[in-house]
Amino acid sequence: MTESEVKEKLSHLLSQENLDYSAILSLSNRLSQFDKGNVRFSVDAGVIDRLGNELVSRQETAVSELVKNSYDADATYVKLTFINSNETGGTLVIEDSGVGMTKEQLINGFMRISSTDKVRHPYSDLYNRKRAGKKGIGRFAVQRLGRNLSIITKSINEDRAYKLSIDWDEYVGEKNLIDITNTIEEINYDKIFGTTLRIENLRDKWTEAAIKRIYRYVSDIMQPFPLSKNNNEEGVDPGFKATFYISDGISKRKIVDDKIMIYDHAVAVIDGHVDAHHKAGYSVFSSKLGIDFSDDIGIDPDNKNSLFDKIKNVKFRAYYYIYEGNLIPKMHLNAIRKLANVAGGIRLYRNGFRVLPYGEPGDDWLSLDMSTRRRSILPTHTNISFFGFVEIDDSSGDFEETSSREGLMNNDAMIQLQNFTYRAILNSVIKIAEVRNIKVVSGQKKDEKGNWEKIDIRVKNIAHTLDELDKALETGDGVVAKKQRRKKIAKLKKDLEEVDRLQKQEISKTLKERSMLRVLGSVGLTIGQFIHEIKYHFDNIKDDINVLIQDLQDNYKALERLCILNDNFASFSTYMSYFDNVISLNIVRELRPIELRTVVKPFIESMYSDAIKVGIELLPAEFIGYNLYTKPMHPSEWSSILFNFYTNSKKAIKRIGSFGQIHIECGATDKYIYLEFSDTGDGISPEDEDRIFDEFYTTTSQNSLDSLDYKNQIEGTGLGLKIVKDIVLSYKGNIMVVSPKQHYSTCIRVEIPKANDKDLESII
């Protein structure tokens, strides 16, 4: 249309009694295009789909963001029901008890891309919660999950409820974002307030294993249950709970937390608190042992009434397990111990959300493992003896995040928190040992009745440092005495620094030795896998040579077979060069930061021909971002990781008997460099997801020598993924089975901590 035609049509629409706002808006936008002196940005509607895939590429992330949004809305609970979701096209319903949204909040909040509401209001209105959701991710999370969305919401401040309906398939390229409309209507709602999201036509299938995986993920980032009691005081946070259900459209069943289930088998429950007046106490309860004991604890071990002056409003709960004896039913013992190895310890939650790395495997922030190794207190109290958590909030003390946002600063408040929690737990362990008539310390004697003698155990502060002793000397009497003591302390500090230096040298040497042993083990595994693979090439070459001998007089056939032989040798040569490079890398002993492109691209180039021969398309790797440097590693460790994933994918694709694809994606998060290895094979069954990384566990081994087919099947040893897991964990990384992206059946994700500035200095 010409400019005059647009004006005429717009004028006609504006004169109507019932205005067509969408048409008016569209014509106004077209009219602005005739403005020769000014230009404006326009937005392609397809940006919604692109942002959804880029910002929320994984379904677990999408669901967790929606749970966080419910938390931010001051909900006390959120219920997620997956209906007929074991295949694509199912429905997810998310209901919460939050404060809901007004019509204005729906329009100017949810429907406004890049809304700054959470930036301008970082704390919630009702319970003053620090908002947890990422700014503006929620709308893209629902778009990522399903094709259709209905939001039904009723604000706590209004009597009316509203329903907003969105068809995400409307947001496609070649359309102007401003031209797409979504219906909003006033409806009846049976809740006093709250919000319900109904996401239909789910883009991914959600198996029970996938739902349990996201349930565990959400459970990890959120405090299991509140320890602070709600005394019906206005503004007191009653806590927040997420509940997951699976439904077939008729009935539904609840997903249960494994850790909550095993709480019933704890030997004892230990609770501790520091109240609003800085006074601390703890209690031990055990129905199995008949214990119901409580006592006070002071920052001064000799004075129970002394105050923890830097902390207040702190609570913790620890479920205590003793794995020897008959205190845990044998049918549950192995399962609890196995879970404790990956999820045991005392975690830390601030404002209802997890603070890492406290309570992660290998993290000993309360020195429980160190204390056990010293054996000054004999009853077991390692991290895997507990499932528990500490609860703090903004009123608990001067807790500050480190500049890297990994953990809290080791200031006076943190020292007192560690001091209190450690001593309360240890006092409780000692009380339990006394009731069980278990030896507490070496040198303890038995009386004539066979009972260990009662002794006074003083669990001293673990927080006194030499610097604190310096401060104490400032208040001492006698100038000369103070100078002498300060001189002795200065010498002691110097001696300790020298011991610390020598100890670090030995630790560094030991770590390097262990690292090289792991590297050599990794290379050995790679060579073993290589031998399995290379026999196929030799078989083909041998067959070709036999045919050439028989058909040498037939030039055409001989030439044809000779060409095939040449292709096999070319493939063999490429394959051999890759492993030759892996072996040669072991001449270099030092570890260095690894940029994933430098290991992934050569791997794909080397394996490409082999993949094509067996009917697999090894797709080009996708690298999201630049400078994907891991902390210092050995290159052959990545060779082992990639080759293990590749051979497992080959087996999985071969089992489905059709063409397959393999895809590698690399990128970065705040703390980690990650690699995701995806394939279109037969997938991993839910019961195998947590077992595939165990030693000697394999799905391809044979029962007898007679059943082996050396020409057609690569047999599994059950060690490959175990060694891969050991490599990853040795660098404090993570390895896990995650939900696959569209078109794939399996995805394994490896996370390695990022290289820091000091690490990167070695490659400059």
Q: Which pLDDT does position 533 carry in this prediction?
A: 63
Q: Which pLDDT does position 665 carry in this prediction?
A: 95
What's the CATH fold of domain 510-761? Heat Shock Protein 90 (3.30.565)
Q: What angle, 0 to 180 degrees and rounded to 10, lies between the N-to-C axes of helices 208-221 and 59-72?
A: 40
Please tell me which residue, 696 or 434, carries the higher pLDDT value.
Answer: 434
Highest average pLDDT, of 134-148, 501-515, 615-629, comes from 615-629
Q: Which pLDDT does position 274 carry in this prediction?
A: 96
Instruction: Kindly tell me if the per-residue pLDDT of 589 is higher than 60.
Output: no
Instruction: Kindly tell me if the per-residue pLDDT of 701 is higher than 60.
Output: no
Please tell me which residue, 408 or 94, carries the higher pLDDT value.
Answer: 94
Mean pLDDT of 351-359: 85
Burial of 42 (0-12, 13-18, 19+ CB in 10 A): exposed
Confidence of residue 29 (pLDDT cuts 50, 70, 90): confident
Q: What angle, 0 to 180 degrees and rounded to 10, lies between the N-to-C axes of helices 479-550 and 720-730?
A: 150
Class of the 47-256 domain? alpha beta
Instruction: Kindly tell me if the per-residue pLDDT of 328 is higher than 70.
Output: yes
How far does the chain reach from its first CA to its final CA, in angstroms? 60
Mean pLDDT of 496-518: 62
Please tell me which residue, 53 or 222, carries the higher pLDDT value.
Answer: 222
Instruction: Kindly tell me if the per-residue pLDDT of 95 is higher than 60.
Output: yes
Confidence of residue 426 (pLDDT cuts 50, 70, 90): very high
Highest average pLDDT, of 14-28, 166-180, 220-234, 441-455, comes from 166-180
Q: Which pLDDT does position 708 carry in this prediction?
A: 37
Q: Which pLDDT does position 481 carry in this prediction?
A: 56
Confidence of residue 318 (pLDDT cuts 50, 70, 90): very high
Q: Which pLDDT does position 538 carry in this prediction?
A: 61
Q: Which pLDDT does position 90 carry in this prediction?
A: 94
Instruction: Kindly tell me if the per-residue pLDDT of 713 is higher than 50.
Output: no
Mean pLDDT of 752-760: 89
Highest average pLDDT, of 686-695, 698-707, 738-747, comes from 738-747
Mean pLDDT of 365-379: 87
Q: Which pLDDT does position 430 carry in this prediction?
A: 92
Structure-token match 């709250």, residue found: 194
Q: Which pLDDT does position 504 carry in this prediction?
A: 65
Confidence of residue 93 (pLDDT cuts 50, 70, 90): very high
* Contact predicate 722/695, CB 8 Å: yes
Q: Which pLDDT does position 728 carry in this prediction?
A: 92
* Of the candidate ranges 31-35, 165-169, 541-545, the one whose mean pLDDT is the lowest: 541-545
Burial of 283 (0-12, 13-18, 19+ CB in 10 A): middle
**What is the distance between the alpha carbons of residues 448 and 440, in angstroms, rounded to a whole number?**
18
* Of the candidate ranges 148-157, 333-342, 598-607, the one whose mean pLDDT is the lowest: 333-342
Confidence of residue 148 (pLDDT cuts 50, 70, 90): very high
Highest average pLDDT, of 372-381, 450-459, 573-582, 597-606, comes from 597-606
* Contact predicate 750/728, CB 8 Å: yes
Confidence of residue 591 (pLDDT cuts 50, 70, 90): confident
Confidence of residue 307 (pLDDT cuts 50, 70, 90): very high
* Contact predicate 619/661, CB 8 Å: yes
Mean pLDDT of 97-124: 78
Give, in order, the Cα–Cα distances in Å from 606 to each of 421, 535, 578: 54, 17, 6
Confidence of residue 703 (pLDDT cuts 50, 70, 90): very low
Confidence of residue 699 (pLDDT cuts 50, 70, 90): low
- Report residue 163: phi and psi, to 5°: -125, 125
Q: Which pLDDT does position 312 carry in this prediction?
A: 95
Give, in order, the Cα–Cα distances in Å from 79 to each of 64, 112, 209, 255: 12, 26, 18, 11
Instruction: Kindly tell me if the per-residue pLDDT of 421 is higher than 90.
Output: yes
Sheet holding 241-247, edge to edge: 183-187, 161-167, 146-154, 194-202, 91-96, 77-83, 241-247, 252-254
Confidence of residue 465 (pLDDT cuts 50, 70, 90): very low
- Amino acid identity, position 594: I
Instruction: Kindly tell me if the per-residue pLDDT of 463 is higher than 60.
Output: no
Instruction: Kindly tell me if the per-residue pLDDT of 320 is higher than 60.
Output: yes
Nearest to 737 by CA among 696, 663, 686: 686
Q: What percent of the chain has pLDDT over 70?
A: 74
Mean pLDDT of 614-630: 92
Q: Which pLDDT does position 308 carry in this prediction?
A: 94
Q: Which pLDDT does position 709 carry in this prediction?
A: 44
Q: Which pLDDT does position 435 carry in this prediction?
A: 92
Confidence of residue 623 (pLDDT cuts 50, 70, 90): very high
* Of the candidate ranges 185-199, 290-304, 530-544, 693-707, the one whose mean pLDDT is the lowest: 693-707
Instruction: Kindly tell me if the per-residue pLDDT of 84 is higher than 90.
Output: yes
Structure-token match 């109290």, residue found: 381
| Averaged pLDDT of the chain | 80
* Contact predicate 578/571, CB 8 Å: no
Strands in 159-232 per DSSP E:
161-167, 183-187, 194-202
Confidence of residue 163 (pLDDT cuts 50, 70, 90): very high
Confidence of residue 43 (pLDDT cuts 50, 70, 90): confident
* Contact predicate 67/80, CB 8 Å: yes
Confidence of residue 748 (pLDDT cuts 50, 70, 90): very high
Q: Which pLDDT does position 584 carry in this prediction?
A: 52
